[in-house]
Copies of this chain bind each other. A is one copy, B any other.
Amino acid sequence: MSVLAAEASFAASVDCPEGPGAILLVCEHASNAFPAPWGDLGLTDDQRRAHIAWDPGALALARALAQRLGAGLVHAPVSRLIADLNRAPDHAGAMAARSEVFDIPGNQGLTPQARLARTQAVYLPFHAALHAEVCRRLALGTPPVLITIHSFTPVYFGRPRAVEFGVIHDADDRLARAIVAAAQDLTRLHVALNEPYSAADDVTHTLRLQATPYRLANAMLELRNDLIATPEQVQAMADLLAPVLARAVAEVCA
């Protein structure tokens, strides 16, 4: 493993912070970039394109939803295998040594200093940017609704997944339940609460860190990635989900 130069830092990208809507979208697994000083972590091209490296389709969907909803969007600059922005820095999955059935060579036996360098270069700038945007809106008297956008693989450990649209909550379930109800009413998607993961799997770190302390309405969305694999599918899914989110947010914030 390269040791990270102290000056390296990968800022989160913040799109449209001045959007007129109440929603702030977050995409922690937006990127499959493997920049220096880490490089490809010993992974093949195929592995770096697979779901272990990022959430395929999630950023495109988040951008299409942001456009329709007037939402802001904060998204990751590098692969989750370099630093998973949705895990605490001391979590085993923060710099996973293994993901699903794949060993990650560049993440074997990381030293504490290597973990610290990645935390300071990637995790802290991302959460600082998101925190600044959350607090900007709070200070202006327009608290955001925080929604994280993820995708999941249709086959995991060899088993196919039937769910198409999962809505996951942490301590506050109001928005998640409203989104499920609106999706059941407005779409034919196979929608489920707390599938394919739940807070018990430690997948709600961003919600706990950025939404719960400020009592923001919040939810985590998971789309099956075969449904958002092409630009056309992404636009169609955004057309389907934007009214779902708009109705749920209006209900919860009423």
- Where the two chains meet, the residues of A that have a C-beta atom closer than 8 Å to any C-beta of B are 88-90, 112-113, 115-116, 118-120, 123-124, 127-128, 131-132, 135-136, 138-141, 143, 205, 208-209, 212-215
User: Which of B90, B139, B214 sits near A143, CB closer than 8 Å?
Assistant: B90
User: Which of B115, B123, B135, B143 sits near A119, CB closer than 8 Å?
Assistant: B135
Please name 18 further chain A to chain B contacts, defined as beta carbons within 8 Å, in addition to the given A89-B135, A120-B135, A131-B131, sorted by A numbering: A88-B215, A89-B139, A90-B143, A112-B140, A113-B140, A115-B140, A116-B136, A118-B139, A120-B136, A120-B139, A123-B135, A124-B131, A124-B135, A128-B128, A128-B131, A208-B212, A209-B213, A213-B213
Cα–Cα distance between A213 and B214 once the two chains are bound (Å): 12
Q: Which residues from B are CB-within-8-Å of A118?
A: 139
**Most central of A88, A131, A139, A143 by chain B CB within 10 Å:** A139
User: Which of B128, B140, B214, B215 sits near A116, CB closer than 8 Å?
Assistant: B140
Q: Across the two chains, which residue of chain B brings its CB closest to A136?
A: B116
Indicate how many identical chains form the complex: 2
- Listed by A's residue number, 25 A-B pairs whose Cβ atoms lie within 8 Å are A88-B213, A88-B214, A88-B215, A89-B138, A89-B139, A90-B138, A90-B141, A90-B143, A90-B214, A112-B139, A113-B140, A116-B139, A118-B139, A119-B135, A119-B138, A119-B139, A120-B135, A120-B136, A124-B135, A127-B131, A128-B131, A205-B213, A208-B213, A212-B213, A213-B213
